[in-house]
Amino acid sequence: MVRMRRLRVNEAMRSMVRETSLNKSDLVYPVFIIEGENIKNPVDSMPGIFQYSIDRFEEELERILDAGIGAILVFGIPAHKDEVGSEAYHDQGVTQRAIRFIKEKAPGLLVIADVCLCEYTSHGHCGLIHGQEILNDETLGLLGKMSVSLAKAGADIIAPSDMMDGRVEFIRNAMDDNGLKNTAVMAYSAKFASGYYSPFRDAAGSAPSFGDRKTYQMDPANGREAVRECETDICEGADIIMVKPALAYLDVVKEVSRRTDYPIAVYNVSGEYSMVKAAVQNGWLDEKRIVMENLTAMKRAGAKIIITYHALDAAGWIGA
């Protein structure tokens, strides 16, 4: 008889044969920074997550550094929104100022800047609109300007999440032309039109005012197309590719990891976080076990980088 249980007899044996382990350096913590002063707003649908104004962000920054987190993903929430998302590419915009503040206080912390217009547009779509249509090529120039502006503010990595075609190449060229050759691009490559983003849209104030995102984000039914999205972004110059959301799409992560040796990130999105938190608050699940199991599964599927709202807790559980 093959006795599989021989390798499970005790923790020393199990840890010796363990195939996957989580490290703090795998984790990226998303943060929300809002225009204004003295603000610390809880996000109701995401227990434990807050919007901070820049002047209040220092306490959060301390927690991040104390936890040993090495990278954050920054989302800015402007006071002013308009049709063309002007604040997104304004050098004095809230996101640019937040990044400069963070880089000044914590130069060693990797800052990843989300690039998309939806937090900045009055209509909440990720691109320019004409009537009900979300324009592709006309949006690229603004994404390029936004990327250059955020990189100049100090972002180490630019992460376009808009899902316009051709944006990775456009952004890469724009940054190269502006002397930003060493700023990396982490592309939200296989980003699905998912119901799991609803809590985020409360946190970032970015819900579309009409329609949905299905003409630019991917159909959740398509795994083969997800591979093409990743290949396209690699050809266009992405340094890191991303699959998003994580849990319902681990088959996609696995397939992409078979096809490429580029680093793969997954985004363990807001709705995935809120589901776990809600069950934990009801006493139905053990938070530490569930979170560590989920994050380990993402890594087992082939992701190296895990963007997760659980990052601070997970770092504590991983320990020194």
Residues at the site binding ligand PBG, with contacts judged by CB under 6 A: 114, 116, 118, 126, 161, 197, 200-201, 206, 213, 269-270
Q: By C-beta, is 64 or 116 nearer to Zn ion?
A: 116
Site size for Zn ion (CB under 5 A)? 3
What does 306 bind: ligand PBG, Zn ion, none (CB cut-off 5 to 8 Å by kind)?
none
Q: Which of 16, 107, 22, 113 is nearest to 306 (CA)?
A: 22
Residue 244 catalytic? yes
Q: Choose the one of ligand PBG, Zn ion, none that binds residue 183, judging by a C-beta under 5 to 8 angstroms depending on kind.
A: none
Q: Which of 81, 105, 191, 277 is catalytic?
A: 191
116 binds Zn ion (CB under 5 A): yes
C-alpha–C-alpha distance, residues 114 and 146, integer Å: 10
* Nearest-CB residue for ligand PBG: 200
Rounded to a whole number of angstroms, the minimum distance from the CB of residue 101 to ligand PBG is 21
Tokens 């007899």, residue located = 9
Kindly name the residue from 244, 254, 288, 304 that is annotated as catalytic.
Answer: 244
Please list every residue from 122 through 161 that binds Zn ion, using CB under 5 A.
126
76 neighbors 115 (Cβ within 8 angstroms): no
DSSP, residue by residue, 160-200 = E-S--TTHHHHHHHHHHHTT-TT-EEEEEEEEB--GGGHHH
Q: Is 192 left (phi over 0), alpha (psi -120 to 50) or beta?
A: beta
Q: For residues 52 and 188, which CB has a smaller minimum distance to Zn ion in the complex? A: 188
CB of 250 to ligand PBG, least distance (A): 17
Q: Is 254 tagged catalytic?
A: no
Q: How far, rounded to the nearest angstrom, does the alpha carbon of residue 79 sit from its chain's CA centroid?
A: 22
Q: Report which DSSP code applies to 86.
A: G
Which residues are catalytically annotated? 191, 244
Positions in the binding site for Zn ion (CB under 5 A): 116, 118, 126
